């Protein structure tokens, strides 16, 4: 999933940041105060109507959440809950979710950008035209520390619905009946301009309970970067005179889960090993091992490895613990920095730990300013999940002009949140667990 770069000629000073914002760090915003973890279940998003998003999709699923706008992270979503048909009330999923950094080092070592905390990402929110939010609503956002303090309000938050194609398809036993449904999503997004580039921060809430988080970059290649004559770039335009400088995009997200209204979730890691067929067996065997992650962890994806966040209190109608599985997207892990050397981090909640690098939270001296420094053996009682997705961008002729959107991201998928597929048609609802075809 690919993103691109802005000009290295952009100002080294952060855009429109006040001294107060730099000192306070992360939470000045237009929405309600930052949601704090709650011990009891919150039945719905707790915010005023102006900052509430509530959408019932045509397939019967309702998503609810609050939004606010942070002076560094941009859009933050709080108190996110999911209510599929058949559930008597909302199921709390997340206390909060947001971007945690976009780190951009150049291949030639000339510069490295931290777009969220150092280069005015939040202040670069742009106005959206009605055609960019088809069938939806564009909300007004008051941008903290706006470049133009006299005009801080931007029509920059789109909420709309999208079709995503088949949610499922199943042909009945007699082939006389086809069960199929077209999936629907709630889409929430903003566009933030940083130099030459425009980042599209997209949150997609599916009717089956899956949440997909993606950042796409579009805009322009910077002509000021057409100077990589040392073999690290790619020729753009006629001949081989203008070489675009290659670079990496390391995007971080921060997820604070609150499944069923409790922050005391647990983390589980699953690893499988495949062995050659034993004597008399027709196929190899696969053994899966579960490990409960009790201490802070810097983790890496491997074949047959995955993690889930498990509810401390909630169970579905089958009596199984509700959880969300973390589903990685394509990534090119950048080895150049300590905080980019791992795909995922699980840390104990600390309100000062807000950004994966160049952290502006008010942490004590010696605490470190990046997520890798916070993995120091603490017991996980309120885990926070940090996901790192990287892309190495080597420009191409097709990147101009304008540049196609390149995406990078990941998903969280419900695992045992409901007893069956939340979109199951009523006439198949009896087929839960062991069953036999009807005669």
**What CA–CA distances, in Å, run from 144 to 127, 161, 304, 355, 356?**
15, 28, 44, 18, 21
Instruction: Determine contact, residues 217/56, Cβ cutoff 8 Å.
Output: no
Residues 258-304: pLDDT tens digits? 999 999 999 999 999 999 998 889 999 999 999 999 999 999 999 99
Total length of the chain = 439
Task: State the burial class of residue 417 (Cβ atoms within 10 Å of its Cβ: 0-12, 13-18, 19+).
Answer: buried
How confident is the prediction for the chain on average, in pLDDT? 88
3-state secondary structure (DSSP) of residue 427: helix
Distance CA 417, CA 419 (A): 7
pLDDT at 436: 73
pLDDT at 13: 37
**22: pLDDT strictly greater than 90:** no
Contacts of 95 by beta carbon, 8 Å cutoff, 6+ apart: 35, 36, 37, 38, 78, 79, 256, 257, 258, 263
Task: State the burial class of residue 88 (Cβ atoms within 10 Å of its Cβ: 0-12, 13-18, 19+).
Answer: exposed
**What CA–CA distances, in Å, run from 414 to 201, 299, 325, 386?**
22, 21, 6, 18
Residues 116-166: pLDDT tens digits? 999 999 999 999 999 999 999 999 999 999 999 999 999 999 999 999 999
pLDDT at 175: 67
**Residue keyed to tokens 């988080």:** 213
Distance CA 252, CA 390 (A): 9
Distance CA 311, CA 167 (A): 26
Contacts of 97 by beta carbon, 8 Å cutoff, 6+ apart: 76, 77, 80, 203, 211, 213, 253, 254, 255, 256
**Residue keyed to tokens 């999940």:** 385
More confident residue, 27 or 218: 218
Distance CA 339, CA 359 (A): 12
**37: pLDDT strictly greater than 60:** no
pLDDT at 434: 81
- Where residue 45 falls among pLDDT bands split at 50, 70, 90? low
Residues 340-367: pLDDT tens digits? 999 999 999 999 999 999 999 899 999 9
Instruction: Write out 122-140 in H/E/C secondary structure.
Output: HHHECCCCHHHCCCCEEEE
> Strands, DSSP E only, in 172-210?
178-194, 197-206
More confident residue, 93 or 46: 93
Distance CA 204, CA 163 (A): 11
> Among 76, 183, 87, 174, which Cα is nearest to 121's?
76
Please give the structure tokens belonging to residue 75: 């859009």
3-state secondary structure (DSSP) of residue 259: helix
More confident residue, 59 or 8: 59
pLDDT at 130: 95
Distance CA 326, CA 323 (A): 10
Written as one string, the DSSP assignment of 75-124 is: EEEEEEEEE-TT-SS-EEEEEEEEEEEEEEEBTTSS-EEEHHHHS-TGGG
Residues 94-122: pLDDT tens digits? 999 999 999 999 998 989 999 999 999 99
Q: What is the mean pLDDT of residues 328-334?
A: 96
**256: pLDDT strictly greater than 70:** yes
Instruction: Determine contact, residues 308/415, Cβ cutoff 8 Å.
Output: yes
Distance CA 189, CA 204 (A): 9
pLDDT at 227: 78
pLDDT over 90, % of the chain: 74
Element holding 45 (H helix, E strand): none
């Amino acid at each position: 999933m690919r993103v691109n770069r802005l000009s290295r000629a952009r100002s080294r000073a952060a855009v429109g940041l006040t001294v107060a914002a730099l000192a306070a760090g992360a939470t000045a915003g237009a929405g309600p105060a930052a949601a704090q973890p709650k011990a009891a279940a919150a039945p719905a998003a707790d915010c005023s109507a102006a900052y509430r998003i509530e959408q019932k999709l045509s397939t019967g699923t309702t998503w609810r959440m609050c939004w606010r706008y942070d002076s560094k992270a941009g859009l933050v979503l709080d108190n996110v809950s999911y209510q599929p048909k058949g559930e008597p009330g909302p199921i709390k999923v997340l206390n909060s979710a947001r971007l945690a950094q976009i780190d951009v080092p150049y291949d030639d070592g000339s510069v490295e950008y931290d777009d969220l905390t150092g280069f005015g990402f939040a202040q670069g929110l742009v106005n959206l035209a009605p055609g960019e939010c088809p069938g939806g609503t564009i909300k007004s956002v008051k941008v903290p520390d706006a470049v133009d303090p006299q005009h801080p309000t931007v029509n920059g938050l789109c909420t709309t619905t999208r079709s995503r194609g088949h949610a499922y398809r199943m042909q009945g036993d007699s082939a006389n009946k086809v069960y199929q449904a077209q999936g629907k999503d709630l889409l929430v997004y903003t566009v933030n301009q940083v130099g030459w580039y425009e980042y599209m921060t997209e949150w997609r809430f599916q009717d089956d309970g899956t949440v997909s988080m993606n950042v796409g970059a579009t805009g322009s290649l910077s002509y000021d970067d057409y100077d990589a004559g040392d073999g690290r770039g790619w020729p753009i335009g006629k001949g081989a005179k203008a070489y675009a400088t290659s670079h990496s995009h390391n995007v971080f997200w921060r997820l604070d889960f609150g499944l069923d209204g409790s922050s005391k979730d647990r983390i589980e890691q699953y690893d499988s090993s495949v062995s050659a067929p034993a004597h008399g067996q027709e196929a190899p065997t696969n053994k899966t091992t579960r490990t409960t992650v009790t201490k802070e962890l810097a983790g890496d994806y491997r074949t047959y490895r995955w993690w889930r966040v498990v509810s401390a209190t909630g169970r579905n109608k089958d009596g199984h613990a509700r959880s969300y599985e973390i589903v990685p997207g394509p990534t090119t892990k950048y080895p150049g920095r300590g905080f980019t050397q791992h795909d995922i981090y699980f840390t104990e909640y600390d309100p000062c730990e807000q950004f994966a690098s160049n952290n502006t939270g008010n942490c004590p001296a010696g605490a470190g300013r990046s997520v890798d420094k916070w993995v120091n053996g603490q017991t996980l009682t309120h885990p926070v999940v940090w996901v790192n997705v990287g892309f190495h961008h080597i420009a191409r002729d097709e990147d101009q002009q304008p540049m196609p959107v390149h995406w990078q991201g990941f998903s969280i998928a419900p695992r045992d949140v409901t007893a069956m597929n939340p979109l199951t048609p009523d006439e198949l609802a009896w087929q839960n667990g062991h069953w036999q075809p009807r005669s």
